[in-house]
Amino acid sequence: MTRAICFNCGAKKFGAFTQCAACKATPSSQEQLETSMALCEHMHSSQQLGIFAEDIHQHRKLVFRPGVLDQAREALKDPQLVAMLGLVVKNANRDSPRPSSSPPRPSPAQAASHIKVRRDAPVTTDLHKTAFAILDVTTRDNRRRIVEQAEERSLSVDHELCAKARSELTNPRNRLSLEVTWLPGISPKRASAYCTLIRHDLDKYMSAAENEAPLVKSNLIAAALELFDADMDADDWASWIYQLASESDQIDAEDVLRLVNEDRAVAGFPLVSGPELVEEEVSNRRRYYKDAIKNAIDRLPTKRMIDVMTDVVETATLSGEEAAPLLIDELIDSYELGVRSFLEREADNVEKLIGSIRSSASNGVRAVTPLIDKLDRVIRNWDRVAQPIQVSMKSRGLEHDQSRRMALDVRGLGVDLFNEHQMLDQAERLTNLLRDVFAELPEVVNRLEEDSVAISNIQRDREKAQKQANDWVQEISFEGQIGLVFKDTLRISPNGVEWKGSRVALENVTGIGWGATRNSVNGIPTGTDYFIFWCDQHNVTRVQLNRETVYSTFIDKLWKAVGVRLLTEMLGGLREGKRYRFGNAILDDFGMELTKSHLFSADEKIKATWAELQIWNANGSLHVGKTNDKKAVLELPYQGANNAHVLEAAIRTKFKTGNPRLSSIFDD
Amino acid sequence: MGFFSKLLGKEDEGQKALREAMQMIWKIVDDEKFQNTLLGDEMEALLNSAPAIDERPDGQGAFGLDQRNPIPVNGAIGELAYLSRLETNNGERMMFHRIGSINTIDVFEAVTYSGSGWFIFFIDLYHPRRSRKAPPGFRLANEPRQFSGFHNFCRNFPYDFADAKQASPEMLRMAYIPLGNVMPQMEKTAFTRPMSHKAKLDIVISNLSSRTDT
């Protein structure tokens, strides 16, 4: 047998439409049946079903590949299957209790056990106020019987009422309106039973109504609504209202015409000529249903009324994804009229709060936070009331304009807080609030998605930059003690380079250098002296030490903290055409101008391109010379010449790349 | 009829045998009283005690397509005879097999020879004769038809038609449609159950009180 999972709880079961052993749910509504059809191995592999089961457990929305639900929908059009499903659902209802968690569209039979009758319920309902009920006649009684009943009933009921009922029932034209109001097509005995049941056993009444044709069922539910207790669960209210709306959508004027004419033929009244007249009466009836619902929910406390409206529209539209029955749309339109003044007032408050936040933003986060808290509360409260309207609009492919404007205003506030006041957290909070509250507005959601991505990117970049800064601090920071007895501190950090309490800021350092001298006596090594120096515009600081580890660590840090900057600045300057002096040579982007000394004549300036130059180290100095001219040489002692290492690094890198310009070494 | 039979003057005997065989086939596929005698005395008595009707008076739902309104027929052979005679309103004949039963109602799955239509029928076999009524969308052929389905569950339906025929009682086997008429359809048609039919099967199978495939 086919493996499947339950649409309600995700438990494994056999057969797409069977009752779930775990939660007792049986698919009954069209949506549940379609989903159940999709959740079986006819349409998905066991592995995919496992994923869907997990989605159901996690209360995630099920997302099927395109066409799956269409295929399921198409299959569910098979008349024999439809008939079988009717049987399955009825069996399940008879055999089992209500599922542990309500499916989105519970059947009335499931909901019936939850009907709570109000204490101050009227003795007579709209059902009893129809002319047929007043005179206790049926749709198949002839004119004579109606007149007789009117006379008889006048003895116990208001005479004028009886006379009016008689008059309307015997007038073929007026009669149609009453017939549509009554219970066309059902037996007199059954109609009488409904009039009794509605007074004494509302559960049974609603349960029996389940099997009636749409018009009769709608009339029966509408009549019962005025008996519902305000304390009844919002879910149950919503379920019955949805049922009424759904049934009223299915009323077919041709069917009603046929039923009315069958009864008229028996009663001896002229037949109704065409469906147009019935159509008109059905339209009137739909208006009545809307009023009946409105009157019923007007009795509810405000909070519950909002909950009911939200439940109704969420259920009817599958959270805005499908079109609702016409009656629901009309109901929501009436609701919108009712809450308009509240929404406008609250929208004004939101606008004022936005203004306050803007003007307080310059005072910092502390000033803004309590105002944003307040804005959060007001918007959430506002949304609670506007939610049914937003969902209904979404199901019609529209957006609730007032919500849209408010969302965009708040979004604008978030953008300004970020752009003008660098309040990233506050901007993110507003974005999250809007995403929570205005999920039914596609345009807003799209923009918020973009905002959210932008904020995340900025946040990520900031974190990355912060990390890089931290890494850099760690990379360039060092502190070493120098001296045997009286120790001095050699230190480098983002604050500068420091020796003997004198500090030069990193950005003020204009030259650096270092080197070592090996000492020996009679050829016997006696140790190495290490030298480091740096200078700014005014002073040169020199350090001599003999600990190699301190020396090598420090120059590594000094290179990273200062050397790289000096190199970059020099290359940038060369690219702009600047020239730099090193000893008696002039450096430019394309080569060097060297000085060739003559013993008996003036020095000669020799220009050489990089292709004509070579570089080497000797005697603690950097040498740059012309390839074919041994006398044209620049000698820069590492321990004394500024930035000899910087120049050497640039030239050696340049020789590796082969570019004609020194400044182009970073291009690759 | 062979050449030697004619020479030896046995033509009449051959014709007689053929005629008798044909009569037997006709009785098996069409003669309800004869069919009932094949079921044994007890069963025959049981069937004869039930009303001879075309449709149950208390039936609900579509005739033959709803388990609450099964097709009355005379025993297991009556089921074969009825369904073999049933055709769609387009005149397409069907192959069928029995899936199991829901209490006293037998459930059959059927497919047209072209593979274009798949159906489930509900049949009540405890009646003295078969119904003269067809389910909505179907009609009954005027002439008796050789059997084209089985009273057993066919695991690989309808591809195992030949095996199922071979497994049938010898007496019934001669009443079956020749394999030469069926096998070409098997070879050229891909019989694939549509989604709605699979769903119906699931529902029916979940309700079976007895089945022959386990």
Question: What pLDDT digit, counting tens, does each position of A384-425 carry?
Answer: 899 899 888 888 888 888 888 888 888 889 888 888 888 888
Least confident of A32-46, A74-88, A300-314: A74-88
Contacts 24+ apart (CB under 8 A), B186-194: B186/B158, B186/B159, B186/B161, B189/B113, B189/B114, B189/B115, B190/B115, B191/B111, B191/B115, B191/B158, B191/B159, B192/B115, B193/B118, B194/A75, B194/B118
- pLDDT range class, residue B57, cuts 50, 70, 90: confident
Interface contact flag, A84 B198, Cβ < 8 Å: no
Q: Does residue A624 surpass a pLDDT of 90?
A: yes
When pLDDT is cut at 50, 70 and 90, the band that residue B99 belongs to is very high
End-to-end CA distance of chain B, in Å?
Answer: 46
Give B65's contacts in chain A (Cβ within 8 Å): 80, 83
Domain boundaries, chain A: 3-102, 109-300, 335-471, 477-562, 579-666
Could you tell me if A323 and A285 are in contact, meaning their C-beta atoms sit under 8 angstroms apart?
A: no
* The pLDDT of residue A114: 64
CATH code that applies to domain A477-562: 2.30.29
List chain A residues with CB under 8 Å of B62.
79-80, 83
pLDDT of B2 higher than 70 = no
Q: Tokens at residue A112, please?
A: 């019936």
The pLDDT of residue A477 is 92
Residue B164 has pLDDT above 80, yes or no: yes
Lowest mean pLDDT among A89-93, A485-489, A626-630: A89-93
Instruction: Tell me the C-alpha distance between B47 and B55, whole Å.
Output: 15
B119, B197, B199 ranked by CB distance to A37: nearest: B199
Q: What mean pLDDT is predicted for residues B162-178? A: 88
Residues of chain B neighbouring A76 (CB-CB closer than 8 A): 196, 199
At residue A89 the predicted structure's pLDDT band, cuts being 50, 70 and 90, is low
CA dist., res. A408 & res. B74, Å (int): 76
Give the per-residue pLDDT at B210: 67
Q: Using 50, 70 and 90 to split pLDDT, how confident is the model at A293?
A: very high
Residues B183, A577: Cα–Cα separation, whole Å: 94
Q: Is a pLDDT exceeding 60 seen at residue A93?
A: no
Give the number of residues written for chain B.
214
The CB density around residue A120, as the number of other CB atoms within 10 Å, is 7
| Contacts of B107 by beta carbon, 8 Å cutoff, 6+ apart | B67, B98, B99, B100, B101, B120, B121, B122, B123, B204, B208
Distance CA A642, CA A582 (A): 8
Assign A631 to helix, strand or coil: strand
pLDDT tens by residue, A543-553: 998 888 899 99
- Residue in B with minimal Cα distance to A42: B195
Interface of B with A (CB under 8 A): 61-62, 65-68, 119-120, 194-200, 202-206
Q: Which residue of B has its CA nearest to A4?
A: B202
User: Mean pLDDT throughout B42-71?
Assistant: 88
Render pLDDT for B3-41 as a digit per residue (tens, 0 to 9).
334 434 455 666 777 777 788 888 888 888 888 888 888
Which among B65, B197, B202 is the nearest to A15, CB-wise? B202
Flag whether pLDDT at A525 surpasses 90.
no
The whole-angstrom separation of Cα A177 and Cα A182 is 9
Cross-chain residue pair A80–B120, CB shorter than 8 Å: yes
Asked if the model's pLDDT at residue A153 lies above 70, the reply is: yes
Q: Can you list the alpha helix ranges (DSSP code H) found in A22-116?
A: 30-38, 46-57, 68-75, 79-95, 108-112
CA–CA distance, A414 with A152 (Å, rounded to integer): 76
Contacts of A16 in chain B (CB under 8 A): 199, 202
Separation in Å, CA B167 to CA A51, B55, B152: 44, 32, 10
A278, A180 contact by CB (below 8 A): yes
Q: Please, which pLDDT band fits residue A498 given cuts at 50, 70 and 90?
A: very high
Q: For the residues A454-482, what does the mean pLDDT come to?
A: 86
A6 contacts A23 by C-beta, under 8 angstroms: yes
* Residue of higher predicted confidence among A205 and B7: A205
Q: How far apart are CA A254 and CA A276, in angstroms?
A: 9
> What is the pLDDT of chain B when averaged over all its residues?
85
Question: Does residue A119 register a pLDDT over 60?
Answer: yes
User: What long-range pairs does A55-62 form, CB within 8 A, spacing at least 24?
Assistant: A55/A10, A56/A5, A56/A6, A56/A7, A56/A8, A56/A9, A56/A10, A57/A9, A57/A10, A62/A35, A62/A38
Chain A nearest CA to B155, separation (Å): 13
Quick one: which H or E segment has residue A498? strand A496-499
On the question of pLDDT at A623 being above 90, the answer is yes
Angle in degrees, 0-180, between the axes of helices A68-75 and B195-207, rounded to the nearest 10: 60
Residues of B with Cβ-Cβ distance to A80 under 8 angstroms: 62, 65-66, 119-120, 200
Q: Give B121's pLDDT tier (boundaries 50, 70, 90).
A: very high
Q: Which of A340-354, A367-381, A630-644, B38-52 has the lowest mean pLDDT?
A: B38-52
Q: Which two tokens stand for residue A512?
A: 């650096």
Can you give the pLDDT at residue A92? 54
More confident residue, A103 or A643: A643
Tell me what pLDDT residue A172 has.
85
A109, pLDDT greater than 70: no
CB contact set of A186 (below 8 Å; sequence gap of 6+): A212, A216
What's the helix, strand, coil split of chain A in %, to 5?
Answer: 60, 15, 30
| Of residues A15, A77, A79, nearest to B206 (C-beta) | A15
DSSP designation for A610: G
- Which residues in chain A have their CB less than 8 angstroms from residue B202's CB? 1-2, 14-18, 40
* Average pLDDT, integer, range A260-264: 88
Instruction: Report the distance separating Cα A91 and Cα B204, nearest Å.
Output: 13
Burial class (CB in 10 A: 0-12, 13-18, 19+), A132: buried
Lowest-pLDDT choice from A22-26, A326-330, A444-448, B169-173: A444-448
The single-letter code of the amino acid at A148 is: E
pLDDT of residue A111: 43
Please name the residue of chain B whose CA is at the shortest distance from the CA of residue A75.
B196
pLDDT band at residue A95 using 50, 70 and 90 as cut-offs: very low
> Which of B72, B80, B106, B124 minimizes the C-alpha distance to B210?
B106
A138 falls in which pLDDT band (50, 70, 90)?
A: confident
Q: What pLDDT, on a 0 to 100 scale, did the predictor assign at position A578? A: 93
Task: State the pLDDT at residue A98.
Answer: 39
Q: Counting Cβ atoms within 10 Å, is residue B104 exposed (0-12), middle (13-18) or buried (19+)?
A: exposed
Q: Which of A164-178, B21-35, B39-53 shows the highest mean pLDDT?
A: A164-178
pLDDT above 50 (res A101): no
- The share of chain A scoring above pLDDT 70, in percent, equals 96
pLDDT score of A91: 56
What average pLDDT does the structure give for chain A? 85
Lowest mean pLDDT across A54-58, B42-46, B176-180, B208-212:
B208-212
* Sequence-separated (6 or more) residues with CB below 8 Å from residue A98: A24, A106, A110, A113
Q: What is the pLDDT of residue A460?
A: 84
